[in-house]
Every structure is written in C-alpha cells, then in structure tokens.
C-alpha cells in the first residue's frame, strides 16, 4: 500500500493551473431572437480584453434592419456566411445563443472550412427537418402561433410577464422593463421554418455546449424539451461547460464570467 513515499512520476507533476497563457481565438458571436448585436456588447468587450478577436455580425430582420420582417432562415445564415467570407475569416469559434444555435448549424454547413469549433450557449440544436417552434412545449407554441396571427406583419412580440419570468428571471424589475422596452417583434418565419440539417450531422467540427443553470426559457426536466441535456446531446461528442445565470440578464450583469465560459468552450 503506497503512501506516495515512493514518489510516483504521476500525471499531476508539473501542473501550474492558471499559468497557461490564453490561447488567442477569433470569435464570431450570433445572437438569438428578440435581440440584436448589442446583446453581446459586454461579453465582446471582455473577450477583447482577454486578447481575442471578436466579430458580431448584424443580420437581416434584427437591429437596424428590424423593420424587415419578411425574411427566411436562409436569408440570415447566408448573410452571416457571406460576412465571414468577405472578411476572409478562418479558424473561427462560431458561438450561437438561443435561436442563434439554429443559425450556427446552417452557417457551419455553408462555410465549414472556416470554422475551428462550434459553441452552443443555451442554444437550439435542431434535428434534421425540425423547426425551432417544434422544440417549444405545446402551450408556448400555441401562444406564439396566436400572437403571430394577430400581429398583422407576421412577427411575434413576447408578452411582458412571459419575458420577465422566463428570459430575465434573475433581473430586478427595473432591469427587466428596460430590457423589454428595447426589444422589437421577432420575424416569425424563421422560427417556424423546418431546416434541412443533413449536412450538419455529417460534419465533424469540434463542438461545445455552455449551460447556465437558471436559464428557464425551456421547461426543465421534461425529457422531450429543454436546452440541456435534451438538445445538447444531439451534438454527439461535445465539451460541456456550465455556469450560473439566466437567459438574458447575466450577459449584462456578469459579462466577464460569460466571456470566460465561452473561452473555456472555444479553446482547443
């Protein structure tokens, strides 16, 4: 029985945790629905402070283009793939948050040779042939379909109580209202579009899933719904990273923590 007296040349020798230099990465950050590029502001600033290069593509139907509600999922993914090609980016870590996960899946199909790793942060990972709406529990989907019909311009605006309790549960009421006032109705089409993802499921690009444990947008514990493990497990072999936070507040209140999780997910 050894008491370490024999000085094993064990694999713990020589570790210097925390001293390893940061591996500089090129991040491309894709926001979700009811958001625009400003979602990433704090996180992008922290990533740059760490020495990374960060791109935050704006895409059709969001931000300065939010008046354009007649867009398809393909409009979005092709716009981003073109931006990536136009900047001649390679070796990118492509990060998607929430609905942005579906965009990551399609962009990965379009420019696979430019991508080093895919990172899904509480993001949709759809099966081949599925729409994002199909991942919503029946009551939420019915609510969305009704709002869509009543919108007059095929968009969906989140009701405030739904947004406050599920998207920003960790915010105080001031933060919740301020956030809500800035969001705009989301074009409905891409949410209900079934995506051909056959090529995605043939890709061997390394991938990671980042889960924040208080993200309550999807119901917990129902084996048929939810970010993790329901959708994350579709990634096959993936790296798992976890932290504490909700769907939209923590990006603002603790961007340094999120930036570190995205780095842990994105590094080699």
Catalytic residue ranges: 98
* Residue placing its CB nearer to its own copies in the complex, 193 or 243: 243
Pairing of strands 115-123, 186-187: unpaired
DSSP conformation class of 94:
E
CB of 237 to its own copies, least distance (A): 6
* Residue placing its CB nearer to its own copies in the complex, 191 or 218: 218
Alpha-carbon distance of 58 to 251, in angstroms, equals: 18
222 closest CA partner among 164, 154, 136: 136
Residues 37 and 63: beta-carbon distance below 8 Å: yes
* Residue placing its CB nearer to its own copies in the complex, 162 or 192: 162
- The encoded tokens of residue 109 equal 């199909």
* Residue placing its CB nearer to its own copies in the complex, 3 or 202: 3
CB of 53 to its own copies, least distance (A): 10
CB of 20 to its own copies, least distance (A): 5
99 closest CA partner among 62, 66, 67: 62
Alpha-carbon distance of 205 to 117, in angstroms, equals: 6
247 closest CA partner among 178, 189, 158, 171: 171
CB of 147 to its own copies, least distance (A): 15
Strand ranges for 137-206 from DSSP E: 155-156, 186-187
Q: Residue 111, Cα to own-chain centre: how many angstroms?
A: 18
CB of 229 to its own copies, least distance (A): 3
* Residue placing its CB nearer to its own copies in the complex, 38 or 196: 38
């Amino acid at each position: 029985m050894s008491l370490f007296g024999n000085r094993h040349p064990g694999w713990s020798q020589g570790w210097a945790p925390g001293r390893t230099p940061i591996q500089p990465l090129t991040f491309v950050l894709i926001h979700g629905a009811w958001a625009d590029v400003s979602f990433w502001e704090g996180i992008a600033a922290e990533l740059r402070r760490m020495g990374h290069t960060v791109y935050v593509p704006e895409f059709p139907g969001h931000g300065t283009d939010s008046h354009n509600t007649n867009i398809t999922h393909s409009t979005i993914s092709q716009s981003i793939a073109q931006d990536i090609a136009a900047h001649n980016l390679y070796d990118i870590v492509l990060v998607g948050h929430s609905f942005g996960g579906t965009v990551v899946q399609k962009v990965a199909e379009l420019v696979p040779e430019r991508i080093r790793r895919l990172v899904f942060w509480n993001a949709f990972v759809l099966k081949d042939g599925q729409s994002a709406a199909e991942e919503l529990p029946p009551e939420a989907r019915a609510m969305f379909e009704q709002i869509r019909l009543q919108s007059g311009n095929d968009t969906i605006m989140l009701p405030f109580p739904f947004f406050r309790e599920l998207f920003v549960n960790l915010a105080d009421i001031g933060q919740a209202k301020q956030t809500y006032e800035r969001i705009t109705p989301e074009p409905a089409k891409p949410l209900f579009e079934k995506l051909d993802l056959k090529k995605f499921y043939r890709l061997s690009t390394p991938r990671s899933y980042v889960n924040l444990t208080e993200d309550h947008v999807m119901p917990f514990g129902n084996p048929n719904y939810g970010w993790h493990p329901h959708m994350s497990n579709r990634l096959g072999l993936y790296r798992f990273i976890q932290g504490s936070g909700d769907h939209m507040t923590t990006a603002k209140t603790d961007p340094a923590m999120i930036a570190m999780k995205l780095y842990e997910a994105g590094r080699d």
